[in-house]
Amino acid sequence: AQSVTQLGSHVSVSEGALVLLRCNYSSSVPPYLFWYVQYPNQGLQLLLKYTTGATLVKGINGFEAEFKKSETSFHLTKPSAHMSDAAEYFCAVAMEYGNKLVFGAGTILRVKS
């Protein structure tokens, strides 16, 4: 069965610093990969996704992620953190059909002023 590991349940960065949220998946077949963000008392919003093609994917709010097949990773980055980035971030994978998203446990990002 698919699994997703997000390293670090809490990450704290200073405003303006690099954001790096880690995601590794278990699959022998490259899956489809997603990053979602959840603000307090809200649903999940898609940040970006990888399906095929270019392995560096750009998303909303200045975030990007790189699919590395050899490392089975899909880490999320943002060059400069903003206070409004404070939220919980979820990495998820899906296989070819059935659209069963398997989520990681989530990483809460705190941005310090």
Partner 1 sequence: ETGVTQTPRHLVMGMTNKKSLKCEQHLGHNAMYWYKQSAKKPLELMFVYSLEERVENNSVPSRFSPECPNSSHLFLHLHTLQPEDSALYLCASSLGLAGADTQYFGPGTRLTVL
Nearest residue to 19 via CA among 74, 63, 73, 72: 63
Tell me how far CA of residue 83 lies from CA of 13, 27, 52, 109, in angstroms: 10, 34, 32, 10
Report the nearest approach of partner 1 to the CB of residue 46 (Å): 6
Determine which residue in the list 89, 90, 107, 111 makes contact with partner 1, applying CB under 8 A: 90
Select from 18-26, 45-53, 57-65, 71-79 the region that touches partner 1 (CB under 8 A).
Answer: 45-53
What residues contact 82, with CB distance under 8 A and at least 6 apart? 15, 111
Interaction of residue 31 with partner 1, rule CB under 8 A: yes
Select from 14-22, 64-72, 73-81, 94-102 the region that touches partner 1 (CB under 8 A).
Answer: 94-102
> Which residues sit at the interface with partner 1, rule CB under 8 A?
4, 31-32, 34, 36, 41-46, 49, 51-52, 90, 94-101, 103-106
